[in-house]
Amino acid sequence: MTELSAFLAVLLAGIALIALGIAVGGAAFGALVLRPIAAPHAAVRAALARVLRWTWAAAITLAVSRVLGLMLVPLGFDDGLGTLALDTLFGTVSARATLVQAAAALMLACAAALAARRNEGGTGWSALAITAALVLASGAWLTHAASRIETPELLMLTTVAHQLGAAVWFGGIVHLALSRPLVTRDAAHPDLWPQLLARFSPLALASVLLLVAAGICLALRYIGDWAALAGTGYGAMVMAKIVLVAIALGFAWLNFSSVRRWRAYGDTQRAHRYVPAWLEAELAVVATALLTAASLSSQAPAADVPGEHATPQEVLAVIAPKRPTLTPPARDAFLANAASASDAFAAPSELDRVQNNFNHNIAGLLVFAIGIGAVVDRSGRLPAARHWPFLFLLLAVFLFLYAEPTVWPLGTESFWGTLAVPAVLQHRLATILVVALALFEWRVRAGTLGVTRWRFAFPLLCGVGGAMLLTHSHGVFVNKSEFLIEFSHAVLGLLALLVGVGRWLELRLPAASNRAGGMLWSACLIATGLVLLFYRGG
């Protein structure tokens, strides 16, 4: 159960970070953005009530996810590692800190409910601020900083500052998006939405500066040098976070430029027509960054594994153009030497590597064909090309057969019995996701779903797929071979996210301005195929 508990722990940690952002960010957004202008505007008061409801729900979610994560800890000791007594578990600092943060989150939920009843007074909001601070402070003992020998207090404080910046930024975006439908209904005040954007901009800027400054300090301590940044799993996840934050800041700049235009010229058109789509894209990217941070927290800092750094040449060799492997190894020989899918401690054999390369390269060939079909369809020169989503079904069949070659139907292991293995479960979920991509996007392009909300299924599923790849783990060891696999999956995760973001923008922006989004997602789809086609595992 070690692998399964580790996978579920990362998933729950991601949910906890997102809930933390919505809860703490809600407290900041409500107090600093909405509450000062709520009195004369019924729409703003309604938005404030919505913010408090979501803050309450997020605080409850945070408490539940932390407790469930704590309950998973004993499962990690079931695979020959003995048992973990509950008194031993609750005697640890991390367990106590988890319970304290869960209790603080429940207090925050109560404070949100109190503020909702007394949103004109100050008692509830003071309690909201204090309990939000307690939630953040208690989380300091749940980070890498708490286990350091040198200056742990300074690192814990820096980590809390980093989380505060992320929470206010992400939570503010969430609550800004939730408030937009309410404030835009107020026809008597068409500038109310740009006003909220303008009020949130300095808060977002301060939170981003805090996030980046604290992140640089933590990276210098946990990574150490450039070689560790480029050649370890921890460093690769940090680079993925940097890329995600950079993309999100690009959208934030577009939103800020709209605010400047409104202030300078009184033009609200851009804020109403373009900013919602940009804000939603920014939200998706920052949420993925939080999930990546959750995965990062489960890995040893790069500074702690100095002997397992890959060289830049080894990293580039994983995705550099090369002759793909388009034939699998002999089936009997492979099965005779393959380790069980449930064996988390097995080292891959040469035949395993050949099979792994074959799986990725054939998948890449199929994804490349899908990308070309999408480009041809966008050109409008071949009407039959609108059926390109059906190519996803070929990819789904291939994943079902070969993603887990030791498991039924081509292998000897049980289909149901191996679903408890995180890697197997993720591959099966990926197969279902690909089938969904095929059916929904085909109905959008050739059926009747193009004018319904189901047209957003494709970008949403791509975003989910990208998040799965960025949190994907292949083993319990911190070594170079595992890192090289996870590096390629981090690249693929980023590309999948960009496919989703590009398609979302293509759908959400006005027709005259969505060309860039269409070009982005189709180019990233082709790039995904090329990365898979040239993949070569270590």
Query: pLDDT tens-digit profile of 275-285?
Result: 999 999 999 99
For 359, list phi and psi in degrees, rounded to 5: -60, -50
| pTM of the predicted protein model | 0.90
SS3 content of the chain, % helix, strand, coil (to 5): 80, 0, 20
- Per-residue pLDDT of 491-510, as tens digits, reads 999 999 999 999 999 999 98
Identify the bridge partners of residue 128 per DSSP, sorted by sequence position. none
Angle between helix 457-470 and 422-446 (nearest 10):
160
- Number of separate domains in the chain: 2
CB neighbour list of residue 23: distance below 8 Å, 6 or more residues apart: 55, 58, 59, 62, 105, 108, 112, 132, 135, 167, 171
Tokens of 302: 């790069």
Q: 15 and 158: one domain?
A: yes
Find the DSSP H helices in 416-479: 422-446, 457-470
- Give the per-residue pLDDT at 119: 57
Give how far the C-alpha of residue 98 lies from the chain's centroid of Cα atoms, to the nearest Å: 22
Find the DSSP H helices in 339-421: 350-379, 391-402
Give the chain's residues under pLDDT 70. Answer: 1-4, 75-87, 118-123, 307-308, 344-345, 472-482, 538
Q: 319 and 245: one domain?
A: no
Residues composing the chain: 538
Rg (CA), the chain: 24
180 found inside a domain: yes
Q: 297 and 420: one domain?
A: no
Q: 301 and 314: one domain?
A: no
- Among the three residues 278, 306, 334, which one is the final residue of a domain in this structure? 306
Return the number of other C-beta atoms located less than 10 Å from residue 332's C-beta. Answer: 8
Q: 187 and 293: one domain?
A: yes
Question: Is the Cα torsion angle 278, 281, 287, 288 positive or negative in sign?
Answer: negative
Q: 160 and 294: one domain?
A: yes
- Give the per-residue pLDDT at 476: 47
Residue range of the domain that includes 481: 310-533
- Give the per-residue pLDDT at 503: 95
